[in-house]
Amino acid sequence: MKSEAFYNWGAWKAFCPSPRCTDAVALYPQSPYPPFEISADPVFHQRCARGHEFDIEAPDEDTRARIEVAIGEDSVHDGRTWYPKGHPAAALYHHPSGQSVSELEEETAELRRIHETEESDRNRLRKLLADLGVTVDTDGTFNGRI
């Protein structure tokens, strides 16, 4: 059996392809024993927690690295993913699949523009409220009344 690797929450993973099994493994597995080191090398043949053995297909090392960089360091916070084209989990979770590195880079640039706009809007609102005597703390709570 084979499973295609995908990237989410900052890690490469693969679902067990055995029917009705819902387990997944990390392409770079973590040792179950102290000090729980994460494998420096990908492991392309693994066994799920229920004992099903399978092979994992993944983009080559260079492509994996480019996908990780293109998605960006904030991927864990905003839940960004990369799935190979037609991956069933992408359809299930309504994520795109088969995105190229340049498509991911464009998406990241757009998300950064949105974040900057939101931050700019927050700062304008903070200034407006301050002018009206309402102070906004760094955690977004505010004191005062208009």
Site residues, Zn ion (CB under 5 A): 16, 18, 21, 23, 48, 50, 52
> By C-beta, is 1 or 128 nearer to Zn ion?
1
User: Shortest distance, CB of residue 68 to Zn ion, whole angstroms?
Assistant: 26
User: Shortest distance, CB of residue 95 to Zn ion, whole angstroms?
Assistant: 22
User: Shortest distance, CB of residue 56 to Zn ion, whole angstroms?
Assistant: 13
> By C-beta, is 55 or 103 nearer to Zn ion?
55
Closest-CA residue to 47 (of 58, 38, 56, 39): 56
Closest-CA residue to 42 (of 22, 56, 24, 54): 56
> By C-beta, is 18 or 97 nearer to Zn ion?
18
The whole-angstrom separation of Cα 144 and Cα 46 is: 59
Between the alpha carbon of residue 19 and those of residues 1, 2, 22, 23, 91, the distances in Å are 10, 12, 8, 11, 18
